[in-house]
A and B are shown apart, each in its own frame.
Chain A
Amino acid sequence: MQQSALSEAGQRDLDIVELLQGGRHEAAFERLAERYERKVYRLCCSIMRDPDQAADATQESLLRVWKALPGYDQRASISTWIYTITRNRCLTALERRREHESMSDPEIEQAAEAAGAAASVGTGSHPAQDHSGLLRELVDALPVHYRRALTLFYYEERSVGEVAAMLGQPEGTIKTHLHRARALLLERVRALGLGDVKQWLEEAV
């Protein structure tokens, strides 16, 4: 099902490939931007975790795509190629951000983020009614690979294949990350001692 969805996406991009083969780079880019700008932005959001920086990274990524378009050799599908450029752009931007924050070790940063989120969740500083906000904070406190897979999975309407293509990982890995992310989330929701977990989740609107 997901394979067919991906091949469908590949079929859909044939028009872009044809435009490129005809030397119509501007028309190809226009179509490509229309089709992928939202997906690229979502991928940037899941990596950068800041809407403004994600918008900048989206523009930079698509600009790189534009510059590299004449050299596109069809070894990878258009979508894989765009997502690879986007990931690299985001990771470079993240590195730059870390340099600015003088925290070069990603594990330390991640641990600090997780500790901060866990502390804010643990202190009960959030109103009990804001279930959805609390759930988002719990997602934010997940390990980075789980968080990215989980957020993209819901952004992309539960398509494992699309998330795998976006993150450049096998579908099996994404499924494992999703499974572990959900298990960890349930464990953390239970640990909050909110009473009936199912009811609490159903109220998280």
Chain B
Amino acid sequence: MNRPSDPQGDGELERALDAALARALVAPALPAGFRQQLRAAVARAAGAGASRAQLRAAVEREHAEQLAALRSGYVRLRQRTLGTLVGAAFAAGLLLNFALPWIRAHYGDSGVFALPAIGAAIGVGLSLRAWWQRSSLARLLP
């Protein structure tokens, strides 16, 4: 145990404390989107003394920036969905490649057609259900 009167021990303790504090006190990061919020606030503040037309232009600029951010998020989402679909299709193809010989061996040639038919029926059923829910017909029924 280090004693307060031990200068060498205190030096070591201070170094250990310094290192521990450097690890414990990490600089906080600014919240996400802070700069955009600041720009919007500055635009609003600048608009307070400006004409109606300038204020409108600033608000429209802010709106356009927000819309562009939303659009880029939407495009990213669509790309992700497309990537998932393509990936899933290839994975299904690969799986089928291994599964078909096994199905043929166990259920014969009819099994090869029955399994995709069941899958197709499930898929068509799900899509019909989705379309039914989206259509106004479902809301008209009790």
Contact = CB atoms under 8 A, between A and B. Distances in A.
B38 A59 contact: yes
A81 interface: no
B34 A58 contact: yes
Contact of B24 (A38, A132, A156, A189): A132
Chain A binding surface, main DSSP class: helix
Nearest to B42: A66
Interface in B1-23: 1-2, 4, 9-10, 12-14, 16-23
Contact of A38 (B14, B22, B30): B30
B28 A154 contact: no
B130 interface: no
B17 A155 contact: no
Interface in A147-184: 150-151, 154-156, 158, 182
A42 B28 CA distance: 7
A67 B9 CA distance: 53
Contacts of A151: 25
Contact of B2 (A41, A42, A182, A198): A198
Contacts of B26: 154
A75 interface: no
A156 B141 CA distance: 66
B73 to A, nearest CB: 22
Contact of A155 (B25, B30, B35): B25
Contacts of B126: none
Contacts of B2: 196-198
B24 A182 contact: no
A100 interface: no
A142 B17 CA distance: 15
Contacts of B21: 135, 139, 150, 154, 185
B38 A62 contact: yes
A163 to B, nearest CB: 12
Interface in B64-82: none
Interface in A121-152: 131-132, 135-136, 139, 150-151
Given A198-B2, A205-B23, A59 B41 contact: yes
Given A198-B2, A202-B19, A51 B24 contact: no
Contacts of B42: 29, 63, 66
B37 interface: yes
Contacts of B14: 182, 186
B35 A154 contact: no
Contacts of A29: 42
A186 B28 contact: no
Interface of B: 1-2, 4, 9-10, 12-14, 16-31, 34-35, 37-38, 41-42, 45
Interface of A: 29, 33, 37-38, 41-42, 45, 51, 54-55, 58-59, 62-63, 66-67, 131-132, 135-136, 139, 150-151, 154-156, 158, 182, 185-186, 189-190, 195-198, 201-202, 204-205
